C-alpha cells in the first residue's frame, strides 16, 4: 500500500476535524485516526491540540484534564494546553442526530457561573465557542416556515477575559442563515424577529439577552449574518466541578503535586470567593435602583423649584403692573 504524502494527510485531517460532524462520529475519529500510522498520529495530534472539541463531559474529567495535567499522553505529549488556541463545543441539533450527551455539555458550559478553570488551564484561548447547527424545519421543535430547508448556524463566543467593574463578561452572538431565496422576506428590514427567535435557542433570553441591544446584519457569500455583543454576570460557584477539575489540572504540571494539592484547593476557594455572589449582584442592583430614584427625585425637585420661581416672578410682575 502506497503511503499518502504528508501534505495530503494534513489536508484530510484538517478538513475532517473542522467539519460539522456529530459528536458520535467525532469520538470515533479521535479513536481511529491516531491508530493508522505514525504520520497520521503526528498530524492529528497537532491539529487536535490547536483546536479542541469537547464531545462529552467525561472528556473534560478523564481525558482533557489528565492530558493537560500529566503530559504523559503518547499522542498529545505536551501539546495541550501549550499550543491550544480554541476550545469548541459543537452540537448538531437535527432531530435524528443523537446528540444528547454533548447537549448536556453545551448547557453546562453555557451556564457555568465563571471561567476560572478555563482561564487557568488555557491562557492562550480568548473564548469558549459554543456552536449549534441544523437544517431549518428538521429540528424536533418547529422552525418558522421562512427558514425551512436553510442551513442555520449559531455561535456563542464566551470570552475568558476579566469581568468589568459591574461584574459582567462579554458574549458575542453570531447567527448565520445560508442560501436563502433572493426574494425571501429575510432580506427585509422587518427580519429582526428571526434573529431574536434564533439567538435564544441555546440560551435563556431572560438572563443573557435583551431586545434593546443593538445587532449588526450583513450579507456575505449568499448568507445572512447577524452579530451582537451582549453581557452576562460572572458569579461565584461551579457546575459539576468543571472549574475545579480544570483548575487542578493547570497546577499538576508542577512538581510535588500531591503535597501541594491542599494549597491549590485553598487557592481555588479564595478565587471563587473573590467572584460576585448572586446576593452581591442583587445588592448592587438594589443600590443602583435607589441611586437612580434619588437622581430622579433631585431633578424633579429642582424642576418644581424652577417652576415655582417662574410663577413667583410672574405674580410679582402682575402686581407691579397693577400698581402702576
Can you give the pLDDT of all 324 residues of the chain as single tens digits?
Answer: 468 899 999 999 999 999 999 999 999 999 999 999 999 999 999 999 999 999 999 999 888 888 988 888 899 989 999 999 999 999 998 777 778 899 999 999 999 999 999 999 999 999 999 999 988 877 756 677 888 888 999 999 999 998 888 888 999 999 999 988 877 778 776 677 788 778 777 665 444 444 456 788 888 888 889 898 888 888 888 988 899 889 888 886 555 555 566 666 667 666 766 665 544 544 554 554 555 566 556 656 666 655 554 444 444 444 444 444
Enumerate residues 6+ apart whose C-beta is below 8 A from 71.
77, 78, 253
Instruction: Please list, in sequence order, all residues whose beta carbon lies within 8 angstroms of the beta carbon of residue 250, skipping any fewer than 6 positions away.
Output: 68, 69, 81, 117, 120, 121
For residue 285, tell me if it sits in a domain. no
242: Cβ contacts below 8 Å, ≥ 6 apart: 60, 108, 109, 112, 117
Q: Would you state the pLDDT for residue 266? A: 62
Question: Quick check: is 304 in a domain?
Answer: no
256 within domain boundaries: no
For residue 68, being part of any structural domain is answered with: yes
Model confidence, pTM: 0.77
Q: Output the pLDDT for position 18.
A: 96
Residue 257 in any domain: the answer is: no
Residue 284 lies in a domain: no
Q: How many structural domains are present in the chain?
A: 1
Domain enclosing residue 110, as ranges? 6-251
Domain contains 225: yes
- Domain presence at residue 242: yes
Amino acid at each position: 500500500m502506497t503511503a499518502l504524502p504528508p501534505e495530503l494527510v494534513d489536508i484530510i485531517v484538517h478538513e475532517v476535524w473542522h467539519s460539522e460532524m456529530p459528536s458520535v462520529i467525532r469520538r470515533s475519529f479521535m479513536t481511529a485516526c491516531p491508530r493508522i500510522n505514525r504520520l497520521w498520529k503526528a498530524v492529528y495530534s497537532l491539529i487536535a491540540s490547536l483546536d479542541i472539541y469537547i464531545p462529552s463531559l467525561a472528556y473534560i474529567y478523564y481525558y482533557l484534564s489528565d492530558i493537560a495535567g500529566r503530559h504523559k499522553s503518547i499522542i498529545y505529549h505536551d501539546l495541550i494546553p501549550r499550543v491550544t488556541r480554541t476550545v469548541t463545543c459543537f452540537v448538531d441539533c437535527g432531530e435524528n442526530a443523537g446528540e444528547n450527551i454533548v447537549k448536556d455539555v453545551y448547557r453546562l458550559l453555557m451556564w457555568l457561573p465563571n471561567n476560572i478553570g478555563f482561564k487557568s488551564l488555557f491562557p492562550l484561548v480568548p473564548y469558549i465557542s459554543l456552536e449549534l447547527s441544523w437544517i431549518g424545519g428538521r429540528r424536533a421543535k418547529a422552525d418558522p416556515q421562512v427558514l425551512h430547508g436553510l442551513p442555520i448556524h449559531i455561535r456563542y463566543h464566551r470570552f475568558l477575559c476579566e469581568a468589568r467593574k459591574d461584574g459582567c463578561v462579554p458574549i458575542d452572538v453570531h447567527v448565520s442563515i445560508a442560501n436563502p431565496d433572493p426574494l425571501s422576506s429575510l432580506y427585509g428590514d422587518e427580519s429582526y424577529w428571526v434573529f431574536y427567535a434564533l439567538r435564544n435557542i441555546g440560551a435563556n433570553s431572560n438572563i443573557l439577552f435583551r431586545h434593546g441591544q443593538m445587532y449588526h446584519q450583513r450579507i456575505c457569500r449568499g448568507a445572512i449574518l447577524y452579530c451582537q455583543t451582549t453581557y452576562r454576570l460572572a458569579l461565584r460557584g461551579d457546575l459539576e466541578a468543571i472549574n475545579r477539575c480544570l483548575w487542578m489540572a493547570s497546577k499538576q504540571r508542577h512538581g510535588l503535586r500531591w503535597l501541594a494539592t491542599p494549597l491549590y484547593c485553598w487557592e481555588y476557594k479564595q478565587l471563587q470567593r473573590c467572584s460576585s455572589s448572586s446576593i452581591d449582584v442583587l445588592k448592587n442592583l438594589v443600590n443602583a435602583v435607589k441611586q437612580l430614584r434619588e437622581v430622579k427625585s433631585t431633578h424633579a425637585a429642582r424642576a418644581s423649584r424652577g417652576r415655582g420661581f417662574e410663577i413667583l416672578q410672574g405674580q410679582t410682575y402682575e402686581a407691579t403692573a397693577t400698581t402702576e
